[in-house]
A and B are shown apart, each in its own frame.
Chain A
């Protein structure tokens, strides 16, 4: 990959496709183990996630937070940073958004909603700036610090949702946000909401930022070759901190969308590993905003179809979690897929 290149090469598109096929094939073994027909199980899975308006809406709804976390991981990765703290960043972002969402009454929606969203982004950005700073100033590897900060975020939000902001009766959840802070539903009965529009806007903004602005160029230059970038007068530490802040802000939007658009309140540990799945989405999407979109839709479809498959066949829904893990492994093992593709070409 070259520094200037903003579109994906054919091999960069082919590797993920081969990886998905491989993962589905290995997944088929698990389906056979439980004594079901893989073709039938996959038919149920995909026909209930990709066919019909309700299914597509549900798939897009599940894809929305994954677009944000996928973009977050991809963005940091473009600067050579591995942000595995998206999970924590989305929790603090969600908490900040919900606090604004329940506290400020009497505001018009045009002010209240953006305020809640921005509060979430700010919280996520600040949270992510800590590992960014530690990396830039002290050279501490961001991976460990982002992992540690995930747990700190879990416990911090656990405390806030059961303590000062507890609003449920028996359940660990906050009060409901005011209607003026809600992301409106687009296609009821699905929970698809205007968060998808923010997600698509984020894809476009990230693309333009990374490939059409000076700041974006600097971030990519640091990720591409930090030594060369520094010779060229680009500050490594400034760009690393900035990349983490933007990455954290993007990740937080996943939490913001879940709270303001889906649950309407902060529920303790609401995220089904959305942050970690963002790593898979970014990898599968080759760290490209457009790739992230398609990868997120695929993962959204898997999650949506899993519920139907669980209901209509004997295959537990956790099959799709296994498939997602396999996708990560296969996509990351580029050498493996490359060899497989070469073998086929030779044969």
Chain B
């Protein structure tokens, strides 16, 4: 029994879980920003994909992965802006707008990949962000092998979670953002600009998803591949819901989903098909939404465009 446990829960698996969780962590923070302001963002997948592509492209032409990171951030923000214009200003159904963004992203990235590099499938290799070793943590037994050495974006993601938490729950801007998502009319009455708040929240949401995508193309790997996000934007959405729209909740869910991903190969050896392990995040999310494990309740004003009277 103990041997089994060690086989599944050991430093190698946990370190891999953290690596696999990182794009989910970053993107789910983006989901939180949008949804806490009252805007559904199922376009996270597409925003990630555009971020992954732009990160690769910028790194390719400049040789600077850090510029790639900024490029991915800006490209994601741009996609967020599109979602904001559509859903906040033109009151397009938010789910429709998100779907359009996902389809657009899938098309435009392959279109540009084929036009710029004349290849189908995968981009050339580009330089990627550095792997770093944290000096002291590195030496601690148990913790060291799990947290000690990772790509710098893994640490960035963890720091961002803390920052998002502080922003949302400890600053007046965070309070305003949440009030816009819960009760926009009341927020408007006390002088909060609902439209501006939602615009900024959705732009930041896109930027975060862009970072999540960049992790895939210029940190974890060093190239872009067609549809390389492979549904991670939706898993991030699931992590956000499973984490009840809170940064630490989404972090926990991302780590859990990352862990499921990391152990699937080992479970396969025991005769449990990996596909069933891959289903876990989605099933858990449905169960959570249905209220079977501590009901997940979305922000009240979610999905409704705001009409100023």
Which residues does A use to contact B, with CB under 8 Å? 30, 33-34, 82, 84, 134, 138, 140-141, 143-145, 147-149, 151-152, 154-156, 158-159, 163, 273, 276-277, 279-280, 283, 314, 316, 318-322, 324-326, 328-329, 332-333, 335-336
| Alpha-carbon distance between A163 and B276 when the two chains are bound, in angstroms | 12
CB closest residue in chain B, given A147: B234
| Alpha-carbon distance between A314 and B111 when the two chains are bound, in angstroms | 11
Q: Is the CB of B91 within 8 A of A335?
A: yes
Q: Mark B179-215, 1 if CB is under 8 A from A, else 0.
A: 0000000000000000000000000000000000000
Q: Is the CB of A163 within 8 A of B273?
A: yes
Q: Is the CB of A155 within 8 A of B237?
A: no
| B170 in contact (CB, < 8 A) | no
Q: Is the CB of A321 within 8 A of B106?
A: yes
Q: Is the CB of A328 within 8 A of B96?
A: yes
| B16 in contact (CB, < 8 A) | no
* Residue from A34, A141, A145, A148 with most neighbouring chain B CB atoms (10 Å): A148
| Alpha-carbon distance between A319 and B106 when the two chains are bound, in angstroms | 11
CB closest residue in chain B, given A336: B90
| B222 in contact (CB, < 8 A) | no
Q: Is the CB of B42 within 8 A of A147?
A: yes
| Alpha-carbon distance between A57 and B285 when the two chains are bound, in angstroms | 43
Query: What chain A residues lie within 8 Å of B298 (beta carbons)?
Result: 141
Which residues of chain B from 267 to 303 have any CB-CB distance to chain A below 8 Å in the complex? 273, 275-276, 278-279, 282-283, 285-286, 289-291, 298, 303
One of B20-28, B54-62, B97-105 contacting the partner: B97-105
* Residue from B90, B92, B107, B290 with most neighbouring chain A CB atoms (10 Å): B107
| Alpha-carbon distance between A143 and B92 when the two chains are bound, in angstroms | 16
Query: What chain A residues lie within 8 Å of B276 (beta carbons)?
Result: 155, 159
| B11 in contact (CB, < 8 A) | no
The answer to whether residues A84 and B99 also contact, given A34-B115, A147-B237, A148-B282 and a CB cut-off of 8 A, is: yes
Instruction: List the 8 shortest-distance A-B pairs measured between CB atoms, nearest first.
Output: A321-B107, A325-B104, A159-B275, A318-B111, A328-B100, A148-B282, A325-B103, A155-B275
| Alpha-carbon distance between A134 and B108 when the two chains are bound, in angstroms | 36
Instruction: Return A330 CB to nearest CB of chain B, in Å.
Output: 9
Q: With A147-B42, A148-B285 given, can you name 16 additional A-B contacts, CB distance below 8 Å?
A: A34-B115, A141-B298, A144-B285, A148-B238, A151-B278, A152-B282, A163-B273, A276-B102, A318-B114, A321-B110, A321-B111, A324-B103, A324-B107, A329-B92, A332-B86, A332-B96
| Alpha-carbon distance between A335 and B241 when the two chains are bound, in angstroms | 31
The answer to whether residues A329 and B86 also contact, given A279-B96, A318-B108 and a CB cut-off of 8 A, is: yes
Which residues does B use to contact A, with CB under 8 Å? 40, 42, 86, 90-93, 95-97, 99-104, 106-108, 110-111, 114-115, 231, 234, 237-238, 241, 273, 275-276, 278-279, 282-283, 285-286, 289-291, 298, 303
Q: Is the CB of B275 within 8 A of A276?
A: no
Query: What chain B residues lie within 8 Å of A336 (beta carbons)?
Result: 90
**Could you list 10 A-B pairs, sorted by A, with CB under 8 Å?**
A84-B42, A84-B99, A147-B234, A147-B237, A152-B279, A316-B115, A320-B107, A322-B104, A325-B103, A328-B100
Instruction: Return A94 CB to nearest CB of chain B, in Å.
Output: 16
Query: What chain A residues lie within 8 Å of B285 (beta carbons)?
Result: 144, 148
CB closest residue in chain A, given B45: A147
Q: Is the CB of B273 within 8 A of A159?
A: yes
Q: Is the CB of B95 within 8 A of A143?
A: yes
Instruction: Return B282 CB to nearest CB of chain A, in Å.
Output: 4
Q: Which of A158, A273, A319 has a CB less than 8 Å from the CB of B275? A: A158
Q: Is the CB of A279 within 8 A of B99?
A: yes
| Alpha-carbon distance between A141 and B100 when the two chains are bound, in angstroms | 20
Query: What chain A residues lie within 8 Å of B115 (beta carbons)?
Result: 33-34, 314, 316
CB closest residue in chain B, given A277: B103
Query: What chain B residues lie within 8 Å of A154 (beta carbons)?
Result: 231
| Alpha-carbon distance between A86 and B279 when the two chains are bound, in angstroms | 18
Query: What chain A residues lie within 8 Å of B303 (beta carbons)?
Result: 141
Q: Is the CB of A316 within 8 A of B111?
A: yes
Q: Is the CB of A319 within 8 A of B111?
A: yes
| Alpha-carbon distance between A320 and B107 when the two chains are bound, in angstroms | 8
Q: Is the CB of A276 within 8 A of B110?
A: no
Q: Which of A30, A82, A333 has a CB less than 8 Å from the CB of B111? A: A30
Instruction: Return B163 CB to nearest CB of chain A, in Å.
Output: 26
The answer to whether residues A156 and B279 also contact, given A325-B101, A325-B103, A333-B92 and a CB cut-off of 8 A, is: yes
The answer to whether residues A151 and B279 also contact, given A329-B97, A332-B93 and a CB cut-off of 8 A, is: yes
Query: What chain A residues lie within 8 Å of B290 (beta carbons)?
Result: 134, 138, 140
CB closest residue in chain B, given A159: B275
The answer to whether residues A144 and B104 also contact, given A318-B114, A322-B111, A328-B96 and a CB cut-off of 8 A, is: no
Query: What chain A residues lie within 8 Å of B234 (beta carbons)?
Result: 147, 151
Q: Is the CB of A276 within 8 A of B99?
A: yes
Query: What chain A residues lie within 8 Å of B231 (beta carbons)?
Result: 151, 154
Query: What chain A residues lie within 8 Å of B106 (beta carbons)?
Result: 273, 321
| Alpha-carbon distance between A325 and B95 when the two chains are bound, in angstroms | 13
